């Protein structure tokens, strides 16, 4: 998967990772992919719901050793 921009939101707690991701997506062109890296376990639900409500496609999500990664395609 081609990533166009990466956002490191590690150490931030809800709702900051999602807010930073929204800001990054607003600056991006349609169809580009944003990778978000964070450490907040609450982000799993946040990014799933955000994707459903915003129309941005959640391409993939994964958790490894307390680090959560999300790949979103800008709608």
Domains belonging to the chain, first-starting first, are 5-73 (3.30.110.40)
Distance, CA of 20 to CA of 51 (rounded, Å): 14
Catalytic residue check, 38: no
**pLDDT level of residue 1 (50, 70, 90 thresholds):** confident
Q: Are 51 and 45 in contact (CB under 8 A)?
A: no
CA distance 75 to 67: 25
**In this prediction, what percent of the chain has a pLDDT beyond 70?**
100
* Residue among 14, 16, 37, 59 flagged as catalytic: 14
The H or E element containing residue 19 is: helix 16-27
Query: Residue 49's pLDDT is what?
Result: 96
> How high is the pLDDT of residue 48?
96
Structure-token match 């680090």, residue found = 67
Q: Which residue has the tokens 């941005």?
A: 56
Residue 29 gets which letter from DSSP? P
Q: What's the whole-number average pLDDT of the chain? A: 97
């Amino acid at each position: 998967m081609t990533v166009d921009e990466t956002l490191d939101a590690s150490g931030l707690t809800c709702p900051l990772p999602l807010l930073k991701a929204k800001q990054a997506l607003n600056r991006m062109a349609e169809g580009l992919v944003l990778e978000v890296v964070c450490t907040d376990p609450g982000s799993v639900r946040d990014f799933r719901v955000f994707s459903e409500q915003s129309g941005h496609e959640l391409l993939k999500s994964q958790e490894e050793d307390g680090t959560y990664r999300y790949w979103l395609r800008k709608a």
